[in-house]
């Protein structure tokens, strides 16, 4: 199975600040990586697919980069609506696997 290691598990940031979340795969997944945002009691929402493509309707302050085994999600200017938990997800091969999540909290 492909293991996905996400860091940090929690981060505190201020509104307007820049946030970077890292996801590492245990083997190359090319660009078959997605990022999701999840708020309490809600289903996840797709933000980024194939590592760097922005899903329709997602604000441009979200961006993704990387390929192979190292990936990054960046929020350029954190907004109040962005405080949530973020997950990376490899969909190169079954079993699909997710990172353990990064909770973004208000500083």
Partner 1 sequence: EVQLLASGGGLVQPGGSLKLSCAASGLTFSSQPVNWVRQAPGKGLEWVSVIGESNNYAFYAESVKGRFTISRDNSKNTLYLQMNNLRVDDTATYYCAIQSWAGIGYWGQGTLVTVSS
Q: Which is nearer to partner 1, 62 or 87 (CB)?
A: 87
* 77: Cβ contacts below 8 Å, ≥ 6 apart: 16, 17, 18, 61
Minimal distance, residue 51 CB to partner 1, in Å:
10
Find the binder of partner 1 among 27, 96, 104, 105 (CB under 8 A). Answer: 96
Burial of residue 107 (number of CB atoms within 10 Å: 0-12, 13-18, 19+): exposed
Write down the least CB distance from residue 82 to partner 1, Å: 19
Question: Do residues 39 and 92 lie in contact, with contact meaning Cβ atoms separated by under 8 Å?
Answer: no
Q: Enumerate binding residues for partner 1 (CB under 8 A).
A: 34, 36, 43-46, 49-50, 53, 55, 87, 89, 91, 94-101
């Amino acid at each position: 199975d492909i293991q996905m290691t996400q860091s940090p598990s929690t981060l505190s940031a201020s509104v307007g600040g820049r946030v970077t979340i890292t996801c590492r795969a245990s083997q190359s997944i090319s660009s078959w990586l997605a990022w999701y945002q999840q708020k309490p009691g809600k289903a996840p929402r797709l933000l980024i697919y194939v590592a760097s493509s922005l899903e329709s309707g997602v604000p441009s302050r979200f961006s993704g980069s990387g390929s192979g085994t190292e990936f990054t999600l960046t929020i350029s200017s954190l907004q109040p609506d962005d405080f949530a938990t973020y997950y990376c997800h490899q969909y190169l091969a079954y079993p699909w696997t997710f990172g353990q999540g990064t909770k973004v909290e208000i500083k």
